[in-house]
Amino acid sequence: MNSVTVITPTTGRATLRELIASVDRQSTSMTAVHLLLWDDVRAAAAAPPESYQAANRYSIVLPPGSGRNGAAPGSALRAIGLMAARTRWVTFADDDVRWNDDHLALLEAALAGRRWASTLRTVWSPQGSCLGVDRFESVGDDPGRGVPYEMIDNNCMIFERILGVAAAWMYRETLQYNDDRLMYQFLKERAGARGRTAAPTIHQICPERLTEFFRTCCARA
C-alpha cells in the first residue's frame, strides 16, 4: 500500500486544526503519516505540540530558532521533515492550508507511474474571501501560466521521498523566500514527466501582502 508523509511546519495557529481534520478525511488507499514541525515560535493561544499527537500524527519540537532561516521561514523545518520521512511519497501542507476530501486520491491517480505530480489551489484572503483558483502562477511550465517565471507552491507538489532527501539541503540552506522554486526546478530537471490533477484540490490562505496580486490574477472558481 502506498504511504505519504505530510510535512507541516507550524506555529500552532488556529487553522492547523482545519488542516488536520482535512488530512484525516481523505478518501484514498494512500495512508498519510503527518509530521508537525515546531520551534519556539508559537501563535497566540497555541495548544501544546504534544496535544496534536495521534496514531499517524507526530509532533517534532526543534531547538529555538530552527524554523527561521533568513527570509525563508519554515524552510529548515521542511528539510528536517524530508530527512525524517520513511514513506515512499512526501508532500507538504502548511498550517494555512486545508485539503479537499479527494486531494490524495487525485494526486495518487496523477502519479500513475511517475515520480512526482502537482495539483491546483484555491486561494483565500486572510479575511476569508475566496480570491479564485490559481491557474496562472503555481503551475510550473504549463502553457497557460500568466507569469514569466516557473514555480509550484510547496503545498501543491507530491514526490518520491528519495528525491526529497536529495533536495533537503536546499531547504536547509536557502536564505531567500524561494524554497518551492528551488524544489520545482530540481524535480523538473531530475524527476521526469510531471503528473497533474488538473483540479483545485487544496485551499490556501495567502499572506496579506499578496491579497491583491491573487485577487487580480486568479481565475474565478
Domain boundaries, the chain: 3-217
Tens digits of residue pLDDT in 168-199 = 999 999 999 999 999 999 999 999 999 999 99
For residue 163, the Cα-to-chain-centroid distance in whole angstroms is: 15
Q: Which residue has the higher pLDDT, 9 or 28?
A: 9
Q: Which regions of 42-128 does DSSP assign to beta strands (E)?
A: 57-61, 89-92, 97-99, 116-124
pTM of the predicted structure, to 2 decimals: 0.97
Mean pLDDT across the chain: 96
Q: Residue 221 above 80 pLDDT?
A: no
Residue 191's identity, in one-letter code, is: A
Rounded mean pLDDT, 100-119: 97
Domain 3-217, CATH among 3.40.50.300, 3.90.550.10, 1.10.443.10, 2.60.40.1930 = 3.90.550.10
**Backbone phi, then psi, for 169, in 5-degree steps?**
-60, -30
* Structure-block grid coordinates of residue 68: 527561521
The confidence band for 103, taking pLDDT boundaries of 50, 70 and 90, is very high
